[in-house]
Structure 1
Amino acid sequence: MRILEVSNYFKPSWETGGVTKVNYELSRGLIEKGHEVTVYTTDGYASRLDVPKNKPVCVDGIRVYYFYNLFRSLVKKMKFPTPYYAPFVLRGEIRNFDIIHIHEHRTLLAAFVRYYAKKYDVPYVVQAHGSVLPSFQKQKFKHMFDFFFGNQILKDATNLIALSESEVSQYEKMGIKKENVKIVSNGIKIDEFKNLPLRGTFRKKFSIGVSDNLILYVGRIHESKGLDLVLRSFVNILKEEPNSKLVFLGPDNGFLNHLRLLAKTLCLNDSAVIFTGFATKEEKIAALLDSDVFVTPTFTGFPISFLEACFFGLPIVTTNKGDSLDWIHEQVGYVVEYDSNTFANATLTILKNKHLKDEFSIKAKNLVACEFSLDSFIKNIETIYINIKIGSKLQSDCSLPTTDSCKHSSVNKEERA
């Protein structure tokens, strides 16, 4: 199949989070299965990427367009890329694709793609990646975008991809029929973790003792993540487990200064609370390998970081604010009320009970190995594509007249496909 993947950012813009990684891994997997994959994206988030703009380049076997962002200020302030050149390429290329996959629908690029896909009758799927509802920041802007573009992008999709049952419900709230939504859980590539660093590498780098409790958060430092709750709960943790460290591993997304100020207000010194900034894949692996508990107060969708934590056997502590995943609570960790005392107690329960920690650890590792592999994720997405293509072909064949000339045209069309 000839497949178009669409996302705001792509390799090497890893600082933008999980969607970029998911799109890259999916595209690579589909290439390995023999499909032709093109990616439409933009030329970067934090800064412009040093890549050719508005023309196809080869990235690990994937044909990629990095569209030039016309207004960098909108990217930095509003997280809203403006790939002005995309319509010119779409108009000429979109009929060449069998299926289109839009990652995150509330984007200008998605609006362009939906318009031309509808015009030329090319089927597409939408995967919101936890952003179905206009929640959290910029709600007025999101509601306005949905009025003009977003609602129609969802309604015109052949299928919608949800990461969990809770996301199915969110699609329904946006007026989507449940039968049009397919659940496909994220997965991770186990091979990435074959060559591990020496245990203790991360602790040594940041002067964390071997016997210290290491509590880890991995992800963007953003207001929506509830990271102030982690800091407040850490005060209570230190009262019972003074040899504990809290690490925030990830790039600043507008909330770092607030967290630093809050840490000082709570009398938490730099040796107890560590902000690493953006970390490479190797640094992240080293941190996961050396940690005791993985914390994320709130999340949307299905964070890849949860699966990475499970691979390393880290118990997870999160809350019931935001999205939910039914495989966490009392299986690989705890889902608790959004309250600093409750959050601290759940974390302490794990830290102080080795038997419980080991039990969660074993279940977490088994979960990733059996249910959440990247191969399963790619296979499930591919199946959706194939079923849509078959359905489109049957619909097209049923609408054709039965004259000899039309039969001949149909054969030619199949040969071109």
Structure 2
Amino acid sequence: MNAPKRILYVSQACIPYLDKGGLAIRVWSMARQLARRGWLVTVLTARRESSGPATVRRIEGVEVVYLRSVGRYHSLTVNPDTWTFGRTRLRSFHLAHIFGLYDLLGPAVAWWCHRHRIPYVVEPMGMYRPIVRSIVAKQLYHRLLGRAIVAGAARVIATSTLEHDELVAGGVPAEKIAVRRNGVDLEEFETLPGRGTFRRQVGAAVGEHLVLYLGRLSRKKGLDVLARAFAGLDGAARLVVVGPDDGDGCLQDLQRLIKALSLDGRVALTGPRYGRDRLSALIDADVFVLPSQSENFGNAAAEALACGVPVVVSDRCGIAEFVRATGTGVVVPYGDAEALREAIREVLHDEALRASVRARAAELRAALSWEEPIAQQERIYAEVLGQAEQ
């Protein structure tokens, strides 16, 4: 690039709303990485509060515009100032990148991009195929808005081969899709917390294995399968579930299942943990488990590997490719509680594997860093901008 390019990131969630999980974290990670490489980055997002005007903050070289919200349904907000932004500011950008689906920010920005002849890319974040909660409403969204957004995009970003194949199966032309994995922020892992703090906080006894899940408590995460798998696990082990309630009934279902399986005292639900507290949980785990029905990548599993912790993931997680290739854990069929139990048991009993992953933590962090994905994303942007200029 000869001169800095102005790029608009569009996301329903961004910092400080980290309880929205991968969306907020990914958008912020990519925005700050691009800003460091000379891009002029603006993030357009929504205020969670239903009152107050739009606000603008500059954080680590990134401009973040928090639009006022006049209505809310679950995580979806109504932000009339999107249209003002589109009319008055959008034409100053060279390119837009829309993250996620099933909101109103993306369709509005896509409409204004079309009007101002500004190219945009869409990153569905694994949301393209409706699989859980409000499926009929999501199908209606696709008919009214979603398909048009994707059809008008210069590129559609998938973060794994798994997501690429789902997009193609959903009717997205293969030539429009670019695969770019997620990354982890190396700075977070430069100085890891000491071991033992999290174990003491959750009451893990000396010699007791710690099985960890960290992420949103959502029905698509397969926590019911994890509870059933853990119930049949022999030996001294404690399951700790860390993360915010997604509000879809998963937390209540899990609490009832814990009682039904007589797991009181063996399973701890801690609520969300962020920053160093999140790393303390990861560093103390003997195995990290992500049994999801669908994960376009699986950042929490990547963070576990970056902390030197082996993982067990379902074959519906995009990061399964990396786990198989690096021999850093076990991949199991989604929904198979017996296979999940055996995989957890295998990792807990394989001291050589756990020691190997721990010794390779620095190597794994480098392999999972944002450096290569951001460079690839820049190449995608350059291609899109080059085509737009023709």
Question: Aligning the two structures, in what range does the TM-score lie when normalised by the shorter sequence?
Answer: over 0.9
Contact 2:189–2:307 (Cα < 8 Å) also in 1: no
Deviates more, 1:357-366 or 1:326-335: 357-366
Contact 1:105–1:154 (Cα < 8 Å) also in 2: no
Aligned partner of residue 81 in structure 1, secondary structure: strand
Alignment of 1:99-110 (within 5 A): 99-110=95-106
**Alignment partner, residue 9 of structure 2:** 5
Alpha-carbon distance change, 309 to 381 in structure 1, aligned in 2, over 3 angstroms: same
Contact 1:39–1:65 (Cα < 8 Å) also in 2: yes
Indicate whether 1:282 and 2:279 are aligned: no
**Alignment partner, residue 23 of structure 2:** 19
Alpha-carbon distance change, 365 to 310 in structure 1, aligned in 2, over 3 angstroms: farther
Indicate whether 1:130 and 2:130 are aligned: no
Give me the CA root mean square deviation: 1.8
TM-score by length of 2: 0.93
**Alignment partner, residue 354 of structure 1:** 351
Contact 1:214–1:293 (Cα < 8 Å) also in 2: yes
State the distance in 2 between where 1:358 and 1:322 align: 24
**Alignment partner, residue 411 of structure 1:** none
**Alignment partner, residue 377 of structure 2:** 381
State the distance in 2 between where 1:61 and 1:353 align: 45
Letter of the 2:58 counterpart = C
Letter of the 1:3 counterpart = I
Aligned partner of residue 248 in structure 1, secondary structure: strand
**Alignment partner, residue 363 of structure 2:** 366
Indicate whether 1:166 and 2:162 are aligned: yes
Indicate whether 1:190 and 2:174 are aligned: no
Letter of the 1:29 counterpart = Q
Contact 2:159–2:179 (Cα < 8 Å) also in 1: yes
Larger Rg: 1
State the distance in 2 between where 1:381 and 1:128 align: 15
Aligned partner of residue 12 in structure 1, secondary structure: coil
Report % sequence identity.
29
**Alignment partner, residue 327 of structure 1:** 322
Aligned partner of residue 188 in structure 1, secondary structure: coil
**Alignment partner, residue 69 of structure 1:** 69
Aligned partner of residue 78 in structure 2, secondary structure: coil
Alpha-carbon distance change, 192 to 321 in structure 1, aligned in 2, over 3 angstroms: closer
Letter of the 2:263 counterpart = L
Indicate whether 1:303 and 2:298 are aligned: yes
TM-score by length of 1: 0.87
**Alignment partner, residue 201 of structure 2:** 205
Contact 2:320–2:331 (Cα < 8 Å) also in 1: no
**Alignment partner, residue 57 of structure 1:** 57
**Alignment partner, residue 246 of structure 1:** 239
Contact 2:210–2:239 (Cα < 8 Å) also in 1: yes
Aligned partner of residue 327 in structure 1, secondary structure: helix
Alpha-carbon distance change, 172 to 369 in structure 1, aligned in 2, over 3 angstroms: same
**Alignment partner, residue 339 of structure 2:** 342
Q: Flag structure 1 segments of 5+ consecutive residues without an equivalent.
A: 396-417
Describe the superposition over 1:380-401 as per-residue Cα deviations: whole angstroms up to 9, x where unpaired. 21221122222222x1xxxxxx
Alignment of 1:84-99 (within 5 A): 84-99=80-95
Alignment of 1:403-414 (within 5 A): none
Letter of the 1:244 counterpart = A
Contact 1:315–1:364 (Cα < 8 Å) also in 2: no
State the distance in 1 between where 2:193 and 2:162 align: 37
Q: Give, in angstroms, the shift of residue 294 of structure 1.
A: 0.4
Contact 1:2–1:37 (Cα < 8 Å) also in 2: yes
Letter of the 1:30 counterpart = L
Aligned partner of residue 306 in structure 1, secondary structure: helix
Indicate whether 1:261 and 2:292 are aligned: no
Letter of the 1:218 counterpart = L
Describe the superposition over 1:34-82 as per-residue Cα deviations: whole angstroms up to 9, x where unpaired. 22111110012xxx299x632433233221211122213x1x3xx3221
State the distance in 1 between where 2:378 and 2:322 align: 24
Contact 1:189–1:375 (Cα < 8 Å) also in 2: no
Q: Give, in angstroms, the shift of residue 321 of structure 1.
A: 4.6
Describe the superposition over 1:98-132 as per-residue Cα deviations: whole angstroms up to 9, x where unpaired. 01000013321101011111111100001111112
Letter of the 2:216 counterpart = R
Describe the superposition over 1:164-206 as per-residue Cα deviations: whole angstroms up to 9, x where unpaired. 1121112212322212111111111111122322210111122
Indicate whether 1:221 and 2:225 are aligned: no
Q: Give, in angstroms, the shift of residue 363 of structure 1.
A: 5.8
**Alignment partner, residue 291 of structure 1:** 285
Contact 2:214–2:300 (Cα < 8 Å) also in 1: yes
Describe the superposition over 1:182-232 as per-residue Cα deviations: whole angstroms up to 9, x where unpaired. 111111111112232221011112221231100000000111111011111
Describe the superposition over 1:278-330 as per-residue Cα deviations: whole angstroms up to 9, x where unpaired. 11211110011111000011132112111101111211112235656322237
Alignment of 1:395-406 (within 5 A): 395=390
State the distance in 2 between where 1:261 and 1:84 align: 41
Question: How many pairs align?
Answer: 381
State the distance in 1 between where 2:93 and 2:82 align: 15
Contact 2:71–2:77 (Cα < 8 Å) also in 1: yes
Describe the superposition over 1:245-281 as per-residue Cα deviations: whole angstroms up to 9, x where unpaired. 1000111113212211110111111x31111101121
